[in-house]
Chains A and B, each alone.
Chain A
């Protein structure tokens, strides 16, 4: 980074820029920090910093059957989404990376469709489809819908891993007598496994945090955590949600760090 430091502007002359950028960073991070601190408050009033501390909102989260059931549903769906989306996305990324197929543009557009099409339209469309085939309010329905949302992220993550991998190695393995699958499993996969793991983690968190589609297609026994939170927020501001939010923030941090660590291993 010597190229940057050799610009004839000192850091001191840039103080205003750092100040401004710092304020924007504060704007980005402050809400999460405030929520984490508020979740340990001992009172129902919104005070910051709280005057007394307690774990009562965590007790109210873990003690409530409704919240617990919703959390279990969300975890189940996220794990299954991860299990389904990762192999599908990896297979698709592998095929795209070979690059001999025609209509690559159409294939890419279809695979990344769920990133471009407004989520509300996907939600309504999925609900409409599921109403006909009886998949509303089922775990299967949620897993399918979330897999579609997570797929592009897995494809893009694995693809970026494959781009920095030399496919000739797999050809060598095949010319030495390995069949295609075992060549992939023994030669290619160990070298892109970090991208695959990152993709899997992104799939998990995409499913776990998904709100809009779940609002339409989950309910009753299969109410997801995000759906229950959304409904709770519509009514009133329950500090229990601060405790749940803190758990979600911690989960994000853990998964992101894991993805980061695995990503670096590449």
Chain B
């Protein structure tokens, strides 16, 4: 950087020293690359290389011949199609539930005075940093047949027979919504904070009712933040493993569980790898589409963690 600035001075000195300065700049960027290289090398070896390897593997069938059999399977076998349908259904339901619960929460947080908001925010961030296993265990305790929810409802006389809440689709939705909710609330809240209150005040000054101000000014301005939260949650749902594996009762087979079964249980690496490749492709396509449409990165949530 220093050398670049000297070059800007131009003049006879600039041309005289150009070679030395260029060598200096080169040394500088080599130094920076050397700082980056251990991290980059590690990520490359542990993530990129194996994924490339798996992709290569997915192109061969059991006999070792080059074929698309591993991919054709997805369209031919009903069990795979069922898995995809279940996965997308869960992702849609969970994303929907997160929007319904998360939007009012983020809106409230953005309207509260700073102090109150930061106290409430603790209740969002703490679960975010609590192990997924702990939270899934909690929901198992609450939702199972003899769990807390059922015994409360029976004690209150609302129901006479325990409701099937865990080990099925409903359990997976409830547990996953709890885990995904902060991923929607945090970016949404951050974007709502940037909405200029003057716009709202101007709207109300001009005679709009609070409801109309919200509908015509605040809501449209909050949409990019909402979209970024929705994309993150949806994408995370597609590849989610822990909660459906523990709360699905073996009935809700999602994409990631299918991958685990095919590789660990049946040692069918080609099929498992193909599932992984398609999952990655869908994930990247959704994130890319989002970035292209809104010109923003959907990974913003991580910096606010």
Residues of A bordering B, CB below 8 Å: 1, 3-9, 13-14, 17-18, 20-21, 24-25, 27-29, 31-32, 34-35, 38, 45-48, 88-89, 91-92, 94-96, 98, 100-101, 107, 110-122, 124-129, 144-145, 147-148, 151-153, 155-156, 160, 171, 180, 202, 205, 208-209, 211-212, 215-216, 226, 229-230, 233-234, 237, 241-242, 245, 248-249, 252-253, 255-256
For the side of the interface on B, what is the size category? 35 or more
Cα distance A121–B273 in the bound complex, in angstroms: 8
B283 contacts A110, C-beta separation under 8 Å: no
Q: Known: A1-B113, A95-B36, A121-B276. Is A114-B47 also a contact (CB below 8 A)?
A: yes
A156 contacts B303, C-beta separation under 8 Å: yes
Picked from A35, A48, A145, A205, the residue with its CB within 8 Å of the CB of B134 is A35
Q: Known: A110-B48, A230-B246. Is A25-B39 also a contact (CB below 8 A)?
A: no
Picked from B1, B123, B140, B303, the residue with its CB within 8 Å of the CB of A237 is B140
B302 contacts A112, C-beta separation under 8 Å: yes
Q: What are the residues of chain A within 8 A of B1 when measuring CB–CB?
A: 98, 100
CB distance from A39 to the nearest CB of B (A): 10
Q: What are the residues of chain A within 8 A of B229 when measuring CB–CB?
A: none
Binding stretch for chain A, among B13-21, B66-74, B125-133, B220-228: B125-133
A92 contacts B35, C-beta separation under 8 Å: yes
Cα distance A4–B47 in the bound complex, in angstroms: 46
Cα distance A100–B43 in the bound complex, in angstroms: 22
Tell yes or no: B197 within 8 A of A by CB: yes
7 smallest A-B Cβ distances: which pairs? A118-B239, A125-B50, A21-B108, A31-B138, A120-B256, A209-B131, A95-B32
Main SS of chain A's interface residues? helix
Q: Which residue of B lies closest to A148 (CB)?
A: B46
Cα distance A112–B299 in the bound complex, in angstroms: 9
Main SS of chain B's interface residues? helix
Q: Which residue of A lies closest to B150 (CB)?
A: A46
Q: What are the residues of chain A within 8 A of B260 when measuring CB–CB?
A: 120, 124, 215
Q: Known: A91-B35, A118-B279, A248-B131. Is A128-B269 also a contact (CB below 8 A)?
A: yes
Q: What are the residues of chain B within 8 A of A253 when measuring CB–CB?
A: 126
A100 contacts B39, C-beta separation under 8 Å: no
B43 contacts A110, C-beta separation under 8 Å: yes
Q: Which residue of A lies closest to B277 (CB)?
A: A121
CB pairs A–B below 8 angstroms (22 shown)? A1-B113, A8-B201, A9-B210, A24-B104, A28-B127, A28-B178, A31-B127, A31-B135, A31-B142, A32-B130, A38-B141, A111-B43, A115-B299, A124-B263, A125-B47, A126-B50, A128-B53, A148-B47, A153-B305, A237-B141, A241-B137, A256-B126
Picked from B38, B105, B140, the residue with its CB within 8 Å of the CB of A88 is B38
List residues of B (38-59) whose CB comes within 8 Å of A's CBs: 38-40, 42-51, 53-54
Q: Which residue of B lies closest to A25 (CB)?
A: B123
Contact with A along B259-279 (1 / 0, CB 8 A): 110011000010011001001
Cα distance A6–B264 in the bound complex, in angstroms: 60
Cα distance A34–B130 in the bound complex, in angstroms: 14
Picked from B31, B134, B201, B302, the residue with its CB within 8 Å of the CB of A249 is B134
List residues of B (99-131) whose CB comes within 8 Å of A's CBs: 101-102, 104-105, 107-109, 111, 113-114, 120, 123-127, 129-131
Q: What are the residues of chain A within 8 A of B137 when measuring CB–CB?
A: 35, 229, 233, 237, 241-242, 245
Q: What are the residues of chain B within 8 A of A29 when measuring CB–CB?
A: 123, 126-127
B29 contacts A13, C-beta separation under 8 Å: no
Tell yes or no: B147 within 8 A of A by CB: yes
Tell yes or no: B144 within 8 A of A by CB: yes
Number of inter-chain CB pairs below 8 Å: 272
Picked from B126, B138, B178, the residue with its CB within 8 Å of the CB of A245 is B138
Picked from A107, A124, A160, A229, the residue with its CB within 8 Å of the CB of B276 is A124
Q: Known: A7-B201, A253-B126. Is A129-B144 also a contact (CB below 8 A)?
A: no
Q: What are the residues of chain B within 8 A of A124 when measuring CB–CB?
A: 50, 54, 259-260, 263, 272-273, 276
Cα distance A249–B127 in the bound complex, in angstroms: 9
Q: What are the residues of chain B within 8 A of A1 when measuring CB–CB?
A: 113-114
Q: Known: A14-B111, A21-B108. Is A46-B125 also a contact (CB below 8 A)?
A: no
